[in-house]
Chain A
Amino acid sequence: MDKSKNISIINVSKLDEAHRLSAAYLVMEALPAYYRIDGIDELEMATAVAGLIGESGSELEKGYAALCGDEVVGILTFLCSELLPPARLVGAQALFKRLSQDSAKQFRNHLRHYDAGFGIVPDGRIYLSRFAIDQYFRGSGLASQMMELFLSLEDASGVRRDKFSLHVDRQNERAIAFYRKHGFGIHYTGSRYLTMVRTQESRSIIV
């Protein structure tokens, strides 16, 4: 069965409420160390995250979602790297305010000790903030389809379209290989994540 047959990819801003909740679970999967917190119910966190998808100023404002029926089976969000510091803070504040009092307390405590381990993010790039594919659809070609869509972004924000950056878990060899296949090379090694960038040069090498 062709898993990608009944999939449509839309802009995250077009997601309805139910699809946003479904997408939120994938967003959380993309960065579990940040979103999965002892003492906070998964549904409550997902509901809070869903509220940020497509929201102006957040890391989840722009991107694509792959839909298969009622489920979101792929999510890819991005922003200009210069906007990452404010977006991260705006997102953290928005999550804090959307959680119940007890959960907000847990979230606040979590962030006191949270070490993103991201290291540097080069300026002037389009930054891939979240990317996750439903387990069932991995290996179906959906990830490459969404990545190609991301890489074909128009130059709408003064960022050269051939300049992209992302972070990937140092232990995630499969993801690193995937990004290498799409022209990314390692730019910086952080404590937990690698910074990978895509340049015109790296694109020309991958033929």
Chain B
Amino acid sequence: MNMNDRGYADLYEIILDVIEPRLSQAGFDRNTIKPETDLMDIIDSFGVFETLIQIEERAGVSADLAKMDFAKAMTLSGLAAEIMRINPRE
């Protein structure tokens, strides 16, 4: 399955899957975490690096930060939106 088969909601769930092991450590719960939560409140910068690699592997999309708006990409919903933007549906 590639980006053309996925929507925003699927991608958002994948992001949650990837960061889930870190959520409880940071005091968050998957079921109640807000989409506007800052990624850096959950993981450090190299944790973001690892997260982006895992998103690429699991979703088959590019998560190239150089192509994203960094400020927008640093929330859960913003990251999903930015990945959607740089991987346009054909």
Contacts and interface: CB of A to CB of B under 8 A. Distances in A.
Given A93-B52, A108-B53, A86 B46 contact: no
Contacts of B20: none
B49 to A, nearest CB: 5
Given A86-B70, A88-B45, A93 B50 contact: no
Contacts of A57: 66
B48 A89 contact: yes
B86 interface: no
A18 B85 CA distance: 37
A92 B46 CA distance: 8
Contact of B66 (A85, A90, A112): A90
Interface residues of B, number: 12
Interface of B: 40, 45-46, 48-50, 52-53, 64-66, 70
Interface in A41-84: 56-57
Interface in A103-122: 108, 111-112, 114, 116
Given A85-B70, A93-B65, A116-B46, 9 more contacts: A89-B52, A89-B65, A89-B70, A92-B46, A93-B52, A108-B53, A111-B46, A112-B46, A114-B46
B70 A93 contact: no
**Interface extent on A, as a size class?**
10 to 19
A41 to B, nearest CB: 21
B87 to A, nearest CB: 15
Contacts of B52: 89, 93
B49 A93 contact: yes
24 contacts: A56-B66, A57-B66, A85-B40, A85-B70, A86-B70, A89-B45, A89-B48, A89-B65, A89-B70, A90-B66, A92-B46, A92-B49, A93-B49, A93-B52, A93-B64, A93-B65, A96-B49, A96-B53, A108-B50, A108-B53, A111-B46, A111-B49, A112-B50, A114-B46
